[in-house]
Amino acid sequence: MTYTNPAVAPYAKVAAKLLQGPVFEDQADLWEDLIRYQVEINRYFEQIALELIIDSRDGYSYLKQMELDDNGSTIGLVRRMPLSYEMSLVCVLLREWLEEFELGDLDAARLYITPKQFRDRMDMFFQEKTNELKFIKELNNHLEACEKMGFLKLVYKESLDKDDYRYEVRRILKARITNDELAHFKTQLEEDVQSL
């Protein structure tokens, strides 16, 4: 993109979006600028201790804070949002679902899920649901939160019934929840399930 103010970098818009969250390949104008100016964008962010991560194969990019010392200190520019146990559980199960999909379905390029499929998968972990309507609302809220974080993308919403919605599970989950974190959380989940 070309700006009339010569002081503004041609990658300003995509840099600002990266500071707000991930940028995806389907955000065509931003993605095009990201790829075109990736060297300049990376150089810009390195000056403020941020690393530009681009996964062209899976079509996502985000900023990662650089560690400033051996203690893992950062400048704290990228906001870290602690997740509740339930949201951690949701993200880990979505990540595991994505891994199963990639190992099993070689024909399909993307994993799509519905709220009903999501509830069926989550049901055993939410044993203490007081009523079905509250449980459904709670899990729909978790789906919306995952969408805001960039882990899900709503691709079908033509019905008023949320059960008819369709979400794409985005592969950025693999970068945000590593195999080690997945294995650790799965062990913790197994212990939780055995104690029920």
Q: What is the CATH number of the domain that holds 105?
A: 1.10.10
Average pLDDT on 140-152 reads 89
Domain match, 89 and 174 both: yes
How confident is the model over 38-64, as pLDDT tens digits? 999 999 999 988 999 999 999 999 998
Predicted pLDDT at 81: 62
Residue 86 binned pLDDT confidence (cut-offs 50, 70, 90): confident
138 and 54 in a common domain: no
pLDDT the model gives residue 139:
82
pLDDT at 133 over 80: no
Instruction: Please give the structure tokens belonging to residue 150.
Output: 């960039």
Range of the domain at 34: 1-78
Greater model confidence, 28 or 70 = 28
Give the span between the Cα atoms of 138 and 191, in whole angstroms.
24
Measured CA to CA, the distance from residue 9 to residue 15 in angstroms comes to 9
User: Which pLDDT score is estimated for 10?
Assistant: 93
Please check whether residues 7 and 26 belong to one and the same domain: yes
Shortest CA distance to 86 belongs to which of 131, 146, 20, 132? 146
> Are 96 and 190 contained in the same domain?
yes
Q: What confidence category does residue 73 fall into, taking pLDDT thresholds of 50, 70 and 90?
A: confident
Among 78, 94, 117, the domain-final residue is 78
Taking residues 137-158, report their average pLDDT: 87
Residue 1 has pLDDT above 80, yes or no: no
Read off the pLDDT of each residue in 109-116 and give the average, rounded to a whole number: 90
Residues 94 and 170 in one domain: yes
> Contact, 64 vs 54, CB < 8 A?
no
pLDDT of residue 47: 92
Q: pLDDT value at position 128?
A: 58
The pair phi, psi for residue 57, each rounded to 5°, is: -65, -45
Residues 108 and 183 in one domain: yes
Q: Is the distance from CB of 61 to CB of 54 less than 8 angstroms?
A: yes
